[in-house]
Amino acid sequence: MLALLGITVTAACGPTGCGGGGGGTGGVAGSGGQAGAAGSGGVAGAAGAGGLGGAAGGGGVAGSVTGGSGGINPGDGGTGGAPDASVDAPSDAADSGPVSTVCGDGIRGLDEECDDGNAANDDACTTSCFVNDFLSVAPAVNDSGKPASGRYLGEGRHPVAADADGFAVAYVEPGFAPPRIALNAFDPKGVRVGSPLLVSTGTKSTPLLFSSPVVAALPGAKYAMAWTDFDGDGDSLGVAIRLVEPPNAPSGEPAHANKTTVFSQSDPDVLWTGTELVVAWVDDSDAVKGPDLRYRAFDAALNPKSTSDQTLADSANAEANVALGMFGSTWAAAWRATTSTGSETLEAKSGTTTWSVGPHAPPGTEDKPALAELDASTLLVVFTVGDAGSGAGSKLRGALLGSTVPGTTASIALDTGATAAQSHPNAVRVGSRIFLSWREAAASGDPKAEELWLREVLWNGSTITLGTPLRLPRWDTHTPGDQRFPALAASPLAPEGALVTAWDDYGLVFGKDEGAPDVVVELIPVPIVRKNPLLDAGSG
């Protein structure tokens, strides 16, 4: 087994099974038991359905008392052998709660990527205890001979939200007139809860192709959604908001976050802080200084806590692309500000503390910054900068925002090892870990085209480095074609949390029933275990 910076990988398997390999390197002795005998050397395994052949297992060394004889993955071999699944795994499983005895018992073992304890393969964890990326909406049979009408996340910062009750994904369905806004809910282990819910009901509010819905998880297995609509507030674009309680579908007209309705209010983000819902958006009501940024706070029933919109930013620069994130017990916001000369700065604010990064060349208009708390006094902001006409494409940058060091802040390079253009950055904190994702431009002639990457951010209190790169689609067969707009959320799934991910897939890799495009979901327990080093080979 190869363990790299908290992300562990072992031998090759396919999305619906593993090739049979011989005995591999045995695990260490379990506490309170005698080590098992060494496993024999193995031969290469056959390919799992839709996957790669298993690599030959090496001769096994003594294993722990918890496993069986010669297994399919390096580390499974050796009579009684069980692999140590992660360098970060506890040394004595009994100290961390229930102990897994077999795949499928609903308890994640140290050698398992996941374990949801059910017999389904079309959810977040296969019956072989492998993480699975799957379509958010179970597709209908499509025998039309042409791609099915699909769905996409849009450009909102938080189209995915999670808490202890589960998680939800918000998306646009463009194949209707007008387009529809919908939500899919999942239980904590990634099993769909009921059917997709139509959220954009009513006759006064008209959804748009660029509605870019966002969602926040509220107490009691409820969700707050916000999106850009037309004429719902009586004047051009507005910020529609709605409370959704799966599996019950909402009805009637949505409310609106914005009190000001002159001209347009659009492109919202939402965040539940634990005590209130914060909704922030772009406001075009000031014809001289706009666009500006406004926000408003609501309780868990979506009752507003103020009688008017609050100002987040209204400088002479054009502010847009706002993103929210937690910072300690309060919230922070980051956004892009364009000057009259066309250059751009990255601005951030938490309470009365403000930071400014740049100036730099602007990247693509769809890119938003992302925020993740490194510790109680340091916030990481990740963003993209343009190439200033060099032709190299946009690149990822970061900045460390210290609560005691406000004002102008230098940016730092994020060494992803990539030479291709990068865009669509995202970041999230899951328990004590921070993860970064982004889109990478297609290399000439590469059938994988545009790819999504995931890396852990390692923070030592003063500097950051990046862990091992992983392609975000779990299976190599799901990487051809374009993947865009990676969305991240943190789940408190026991014992150490899980990373909820979703993205737009344009590759039609799930067969003829997949929409064009469609939304893919993946639930990744941490620490991340990947049992296929061949799948994720590459610089990232």
Other beta carbons less than 10 A from residue 179's beta carbon: 18
pTM exceeds 0.85 for this model: no
| Burial track 182-206 (b if 16+ CB lie within 10 A, e otherwise) | bbbbbbbbbbbbeebbebbbeeebb
CA distance 520 to 131: 13
Do residues 184 and 215 lie in contact, with contact meaning Cβ atoms separated by under 8 Å?
A: no
Mode of pairing for the β-strands spanning 515-516 and 148-149: parallel
- The residue type found at 535 is L
Do residues 486 and 452 lie in contact, with contact meaning Cβ atoms separated by under 8 Å?
A: yes
CA distance 524 to 249: 28
How many residues comprise the chain? 540
- pLDDT value of residue 444: 78
- Non-local (6+) Cβ contacts of 429 within 8 A are 326, 372, 373, 435, 490
Residue 442 tokens, joined? 């297609």
CA distance 68 to 364: 53
- pLDDT value of residue 532: 67
- Non-local (6+) Cβ contacts of 89 within 8 A are 110, 527
Other beta carbons less than 10 A from residue 537's beta carbon: 12
Backbone φ and ψ of 252, nearest 5°: 80, -165
Do residues 123 and 131 lie in contact, with contact meaning Cβ atoms separated by under 8 Å?
A: no
- The residue type found at 331 is W
Give the pLDDT means over successive 10-residue stretches in the chain (540 positions).
Answer: 42 44 38 38 39 39 33 32 36 59 92 94 93 94 84 98 99 96 98 96 94 98 98 95 96 96 98 98 95 98 98 97 97 97 97 97 96 98 90 92 97 85 97 97 86 97 95 93 98 96 96 94 96 50
CA distance 180 to 208: 8
CA distance 345 to 331: 21
Question: Helix/strand/coil (H, E, C) string of 440-482?
Answer: ECCCCCCCCCCEEEEEEEEECCCCEEECCCEECCCCHHHCCCC
519 membership: H or E segment, kind and range? strand 518-525
**Within the chain, how many helices (H) and strands (E) appear?**
0, 38
Q: 375: burial class by Cβ within 10 Å (0-12, 13-18, 19+)?
A: middle
Start-to-end CA distance of the chain, whole Å, equals 21
Do residues 292 and 313 lie in contact, with contact meaning Cβ atoms separated by under 8 Å?
A: yes
- pLDDT value of residue 412: 96
- Non-local (6+) Cβ contacts of 145 within 8 A are none
- Non-local (6+) Cβ contacts of 387 within 8 A are 361, 393, 394, 395, 421
Do residues 224 and 266 lie in contact, with contact meaning Cβ atoms separated by under 8 Å?
A: no
Other beta carbons less than 10 A from residue 23's beta carbon: 27
> In the 8-state DSSP scheme, what is residue 245?
B
Backbone φ and ψ of 14, nearest 5°: -95, 175
The CA-based dihedral angle spanning residues 440, 356, 368, 259, taken in that order and rounded to the nearest 10 degrees: 180
Mode of pairing for the β-strands spanning 330-338 and 197-198: unpaired
